[in-house]
Amino acid sequence: MTIDEKVEAFRMRLEGNTIQEIANRFGVSKQYISEELRTERIRSNEKIVNACIYPNIRKFLVRERLTCRDFSNEFGISYATLYNILTGKAEPRKKTIDRILKCTGLTYEEAFSKD
């Protein structure tokens, strides 16, 4: 897809069109559109990931190609809450820490070390 087509696809999605409707408009598969939109979300997520004060969590997100939104959905907290935790603007609750550790497979020391 060209950049203009991607912009149009995003505009359509924001206006409430389904992935299938967008795919039909551009003559491609639903899976292709879904992946294109996801790829762009990952690129736009780079600023947020780079702002993460926990290097090992940042590495995990990059390695797994997870957006902060995907990561927050993994354990049922809001995107805003996760963003604030990862950027050091909020302290995570014990329950959230446990979920992050389970999801990443890291120990507390590995996950929350700032070195």
Q: Are 25 and 12 in contact (CB under 8 A)?
A: yes
Query: If the chain, 115 residues long, is cut into consecutive pieces of 10 residues, what is the mean pLDDT of each piece?
Result: 84 85 94 79 64 92 82 85 92 94 95 90
pLDDT score of 88: 94
Identify the pLDDT of residue 46: 67
Give the pLDDT of residue 55. Answer: 94
The full set of domain ranges for the chain reads 1-47, 51-115
Q: Which CA distances in Å does 6 have to 9, 41, 68, 69, 76?
A: 5, 12, 21, 20, 30
Q: State residue 70's pLDDT score.
A: 82
Which letter does DSSP use for residue 8 in this model? H
For residues 29 and 64, give the distance between their C-alpha atoms in angstroms, rounded to a whole number: 24
pTM over 0.85: no
Residue whose token pair is 């050091």? 88
Whole-angstrom distance, CA of residue 41 vs CA of residue 65: 10
**pLDDT attached to residue 6:** 84
CATH number for the region 51-115 comes to: 1.10.260.40
Nearest to 114, CA basis, from 87, 84, 95, 94: 87
pLDDT at 43: 54
